[in-house]
Chain A
Amino acid sequence: MSDPAMTTASKTGFRFEVWAPAILLLAALMIYVIIAVSTGQTQYLTASNLISILGRSIALGITAIGQTFAILVASIDLSVASLISATAVLASVIMNGDPAMILPAILAALALGGLVGLLNGLVIAKLEVNPLIATLGMSLIIQGCLSAVVSNFAGSVPVEFQLFAYGEIGGLPASLIFLLVLAIAAWVVLRFTKFGSDIYSVGGNKDAARFAGIQTDRVVVYAHIICSVLAAIAGLYLASRLRSGAPWIGSDGVYDLESIAVVVIGGTVLAGGRGGIWGTMAGMMIFSLIDSIFNVAGVDAFAKQVMRGVIIVAAVAFYAVRSKRMVA
């Protein structure tokens, strides 16, 4: 599946793929500034406002980092949205307002995430079920189990845990710093570890990776565990932000499809093997900026949707149109 034209081009000078997310992000930022200035709403251009824009999509950002791992190994995860709801509810029910239960609740949520990721990975790698179907099925199962038990906000989160979403460190929101740390960690894993390079190999060409002695199944399973654990963390963040968990918060936020869109807008290729974390972060910021642009420009809710759909396709086309290969 490797494309010789692409790799040789990438070794000489300007690497379009690397800079494209930054170009898109810059464009979005410029549009935001232009609209704010031209409508005379310069109060939206302060540093604090820009930080609050970044803070809009923390949950989406965390989920998208995980989704990047899944997509890099040429898989995909549609179960993140219902997993987010499940972990948020689980954590909030275990905590039930008691600060002493914060740690057990976090561990339980992460364990649930790990378990779901393991199951996803095994079904995809060992049973060779198409990842879309496997994770769609998993999503239905999680959502069904969850709605059988709770139908509304359940449990509550103690004030101490709300610091995760509402706390500040040195004037910056704690959650934003957390997201940054997470992104750096993910970048280090992908860029500097054997596991990271295995992910790119498996996503790029599974058979070649297997011949090269990589245990491809194991890499796929680990990628899914990372994806689901990060979704669990996103669930914890939302429980902290909403002070409680409800069985619809994941699906209401459309975190499954939006996280995939963010990753793809960030230049990671759905076919796997190419892309990275900083693209995903750029994708997340583009999404937040689009939201804010709509709010500042006062775009009506229905027109927003039409434009959002077109923007997603256009952004992906921006990368893909130069590609010579055929897409699925």
Chain B
Amino acid sequence: MKKILRLFVAAGVAFSVNTLAQAQNFDDPAEFAKQQEQLTATPMGPEGMPWVQYLEDNMVDTSSMAVEGKHTICFSNAGVNNPWRVVGYTNMTEEVAATPSIGEFIHVDAEGSDDKQIADIDDLLAGGKCDLLIVSPNTTAALTPAVEKACAQLPVVVFDRGVNTDCPVTFVHPVGGYGFGIQGAEFIVDNVEEGANVLMLRILPGVDVLETRYSAGRKILENAGLNIVGAEFTDGDNAKTKSIVEDYLQRGSIDAVWMDAGATAVAAVEAFEDGGYDIPVFVGEDQQDFLRKWQDLKLTAIAPTYPNYQWRTAIIAAERVLNGEAVPGPEWVLPQPAITQETLDSMVNPAMPPLHYAMCGCEDMANYPAAWGGQ
């Protein structure tokens, strides 16, 4: 039975590979190498303020885009449907509040739907009030035509996920998915014996930024001769994550857990804890609940980050464009630090909510910590 099912699945996979030969490539050695290099590069820009630093030394002249008087900035948001986006959006509104030259900030939320976001951008363009449009695309491919249409009318700044066009003034993003995958996997390789069992936990298939994390992570783990016992999708669901880890523990030992996103890291740690096992080497992310667990249980762990401060950078970039100042572009690559044992104590903050992202770059802002739910 198992064999037959395997055969079917294999046939399905083969079919999909054939028909989708031109599907996106998530294993791009050139991009991998570039990001690996950027992880250790020294960023340009002011020290200690990573949200205005940049790694690629190329500026875009925006003097022709300057607008007199108070600026109206419009923002088409893919959604605030997860804590990372909630923290980010708070960063953004606080940055707007701290920027007196912004007269109005119009925000429309597509609630995670491509179709809706395209309509939202249409609405914003038809409204005719915007001096500049910031887009955080729901998906790269689907939003490309809408962004192209917008580019024809006004300056556009894109951040987080990109679009398949270089018409925006700049695309703000941290180093990237390969970088994230590399940081976690290298830490595992440095901390376990050869041949150790590694469990890889992933959120969803098909999301560009997550696929690249996985491809980079897998490549490094395999090259180091580690034994990948499984790669499972958790749907970002705590209960499911815990169940999956419990099932694997029933079948054999696990020496390290690699995750493509940290949202369910604590649930995975708890599966070891509740079953009475020693907690192995862990890759999490910069959410406070994981950092606290790490500190409390004295884990051997690392937390690569997808820095939340890029939401601030988007506003800063927009303001610079409207003031006619040069901005890093066409890609504004932000540094992407990982939290390690050395930096852990400075990142843990018990006053912040469990799902707060430590790499928010928001500690210096006026309404910190209250606006982010801290005490």
Contact = CB atoms under 8 A, between A and B. Distances in A.
Question: Do A and B interact directly, with beta carbons closer than 8 Å?
Answer: yes
Given A243-B141, A243-B145, A301 B106 contact: no
A149 interface: yes
Contact of A52 (B12, B114, B126, B211): B126
Interface string A65-79: 000000000000000
B6 to A, nearest CB: 13
Interface in A251-305: 252-254, 291-292, 295, 298, 301-302, 304
Interface size class of A (residues with CB under 8 A): 35 or more
A93 to B, nearest CB: 6
Nearest to A153: B141
Contact of B111 (A93, A154, A246, A301): A301
Given A295-B108, A298-B107, A147 B119 contact: no
A44 interface: yes
A112 B119 CA distance: 28
B57 interface: no
B292 to A, nearest CB: 27
Interface in B63-99: 79-80
B94 to A, nearest CB: 15
A288 to B, nearest CB: 9
B118 A93 contact: no
A152 B23 contact: yes
B29 interface: no
Interface in B95-147: 106-109, 111-116, 118-120, 122-123, 126-129, 138-139, 141-142, 144-145
A225 interface: no
A41 B72 CA distance: 14
B24 interface: yes
Contacts of A49: 123, 126-127
Contacts of A295: 108, 120, 123
Given A238-B115, A246-B206, A149 B120 contact: no
A61 B115 CA distance: 13
Nearest to B107: A298
A252 B126 contact: no
Contacts of A155: 20
Contact of A247 (B142, B145, B206): B206
Given A249-B114, A301-B111, A149 B15 contact: yes
B113 to A, nearest CB: 5
A253 B127 contact: no
Q: Taking each of A43, A155, A242, which has the highest tally of chain B beta carbons within 10 Å of its own beta carbon?
A: A242
B20 A150 contact: yes
A243 B144 contact: yes
Contacts of A246: 139, 141-142, 206
B109 A243 contact: no
A151 interface: yes
A291 B113 CA distance: 13
B24 A253 contact: no
B367 interface: no
Given A55-B119, A241-B118, A243-B141, A298 B126 contact: no
Interface string A116-129: 00000000000000
Interface in A205-252: 238, 241-244, 246-249, 252
A48 interface: yes
A248 B114 CA distance: 10
A150 B107 CA distance: 33
A298 B105 CA distance: 10
A292 B127 CA distance: 11
Interface string B200-234: 00000111100100000000000000000000000
A59 interface: yes
A5 interface: no
A166 B129 CA distance: 23
Contacts of B144: 243
A148 interface: yes
A245 B211 CA distance: 18
A41 B123 CA distance: 12
Most buried by A among B20, B109, B116, B207: B20
B141 A41 contact: no
A249 to B, nearest CB: 6
Given A150-B20, A153-B139, A243-B142, A48 B205 contact: no
A228 B368 CA distance: 52
Contacts of A166: 145
Given A43-B127, A56-B119, A148-B9, A244 B141 contact: yes
Nearest to A93: B19
A43 B128 CA distance: 8
Contacts of A48: 126
Listed from nearest, the 5 A-B pairs whose CB atoms lie closest are A151-B206, A151-B205, A242-B142, A301-B109, A152-B206
30 contacts: A43-B126, A44-B126, A49-B123, A49-B127, A52-B119, A52-B123, A55-B119, A56-B116, A96-B22, A149-B12, A149-B15, A150-B16, A150-B23, A152-B205, A153-B142, A155-B20, A162-B145, A238-B115, A241-B118, A242-B115, A242-B118, A242-B142, A243-B141, A248-B206, A249-B115, A252-B113, A252-B114, A301-B79, A301-B111, A304-B111
Given A154-B19, A291-B116, A302-B80, 5 more contacts: A44-B127, A52-B123, A154-B20, A252-B112, A252-B113
